[in-house]
Amino acid sequence: MKFRNFKMVDYVVYGRGCFNQLDEILAPRRKDDAPVIFLLDHYFQNDGALKARIPVRGNDLLIDADVSHEPKTSQVDELSQQIKDKFGKVSGVIGIGGGSTMDLAKAVSIMMNNPGKAQDYQGWDLVKNPAVYKAGIPTLSGTGAEVSRTTVLTGPTRKLGMNSDFTPFDQIVLDPALTKDAPANQRFYTGMDCFIHCVESLKGTFINEFSRSYGEKAQDLCEQVFLHENEWTEESDEKLMMASYAGGMSIAYSQVGVAHAISYGLGYLLGTKHGIGNCIVFNHLQDYYPKGVATFHKMVEKNNIFIPEGITKGLTDEQFDTMINVSMGMVPLWENALGKDWKTIMTYDKLRRLYEKF
């Protein structure tokens, strides 16, 4: 048995208002006149108050990150090339936003120090050189992208992360005040990503006490905010932010499962976003996660959330095949969910019938 020796985030600051410490945190990381690049989720492009609080100094650059679609390898290549052309070297890349913006920041910081194209590094442990300094600052809670060793990218042939020891952030800034204005639907979809991480980790065959101790806490926090409390408060933002962190820690030492494996196919073919895609799939997974799905249905109802149906209606056989192939390629996820013999359980036909339900 070989145990994973996994790289974690180096520094964590947590607390309402801790975003104000960013200047002080970055100061020792600044090298000569190499700028800091801030990638700010485009949701905040007209938010003058937030922008004024970002410590843009000297020749630093603040870029509005277009996350209308989830990050693509081509977008990472363009951004990193643009930064290299303009500055050569940088002191760091800081991602402020949802999972997409944080993943962009991780990938760009890796590509600043690695040759070739981002697509060359989609996979496990392919990144050659350490990234430039990078920090992640979530404005949505749930993905766990702030703690993970991956950055999920859609490339020309697949949707797959750059999983490596060079991927985790050097610093994360967890300030629950930054999530306060997220609309209820978005907050739910991203929050459910965390809930689903927990169910898939806790019910998976890779489960161990490390993952369980984080997963149970994170799942409990999700249920507190989405099921047991009657209104959204500052405390709810605080709980969901820590749920996201703990959910991420849980899957770091286990793996996700059926919902993620299937939702990757939807994301690849239809561009369905991760959070909502997981909800669309999980909604129909009562055979695999009966208790988790029952709780999910209650949370959907209580929060009055719209979960789309019928998104695969009218797709061609070829399109179904594409989704099935992407999904079947997620081997560790299936192994975690269904065991080593997963292929005898999740057959092509079964998966096709599942895809037809969404």
Site residues, Zn ion (CB under 5 A):
193
Site for ligand NAD (CB under 6 A): which residue of 45, 74, 113, 186?
A: 186
Spacing of C-alpha 219 from chain mean position: 17
- CA separation (Å) from 335 to 178, 211, 323, 339? 37, 16, 18, 5
Q: Please choose, from the candidates 256, 267, 262, the residue with its C-alpha nearest in 3D space to the C-alpha of residue 333.
A: 256
CB of 100 to Zn ion, least distance (A): 12
Contact between 275 and ligand NAD by CB under 6 A: the answer reads: yes
Residue whose CB is less far from ligand NAD, 39 or 207: 39
Contact between 286 and ligand NAD by CB under 6 A: the answer reads: no
Contact between 98 and ligand NAD by CB under 6 A: the answer reads: yes
162, 111 in Cβ contact below 8 A? no
Question: Choosing among ligand NAD, Zn ion, none, which partner's interface includes residue 100 (Cβ < 5 to 8 Å by kind)?
Answer: ligand NAD
Residue whose CB is less far from ligand NAD, 63 or 87: 63
Contact between 174 and ligand NAD by CB under 6 A: the answer reads: no
Helix, strand, coil percentages in the chain from 3-state DSSP, rounded to 5: 50, 10, 35
Site for ligand NAD (CB under 6 A): which residue of 39, 111, 274, 292?
A: 274
- List all residues 6 or more positions away from 38 whose beta carbon is below 8 Å from its beta carbon: 54, 56, 60, 61, 62, 63, 94, 96
Residue whose CB is less far from ligand NAD, 137 or 324: 137
285, 351 in Cβ contact below 8 A? no
CB of 75 to Zn ion, least distance (A): 20
* Residue tagged 């005040």 (tokens): 177
CB of 143 to Zn ion, least distance (A): 6
CB of 168 to ligand NAD, least distance (A): 10
226, 188 in Cβ contact below 8 A? yes
Contact between 148 and ligand NAD by CB under 6 A: the answer reads: yes
Residues of this chain that interact with ligand NAD (CB under 6 A) are: 41-43, 67, 70-71, 97-101, 103, 139-140, 142-145, 148, 150-152, 179, 181-183, 186, 190, 193, 273-275
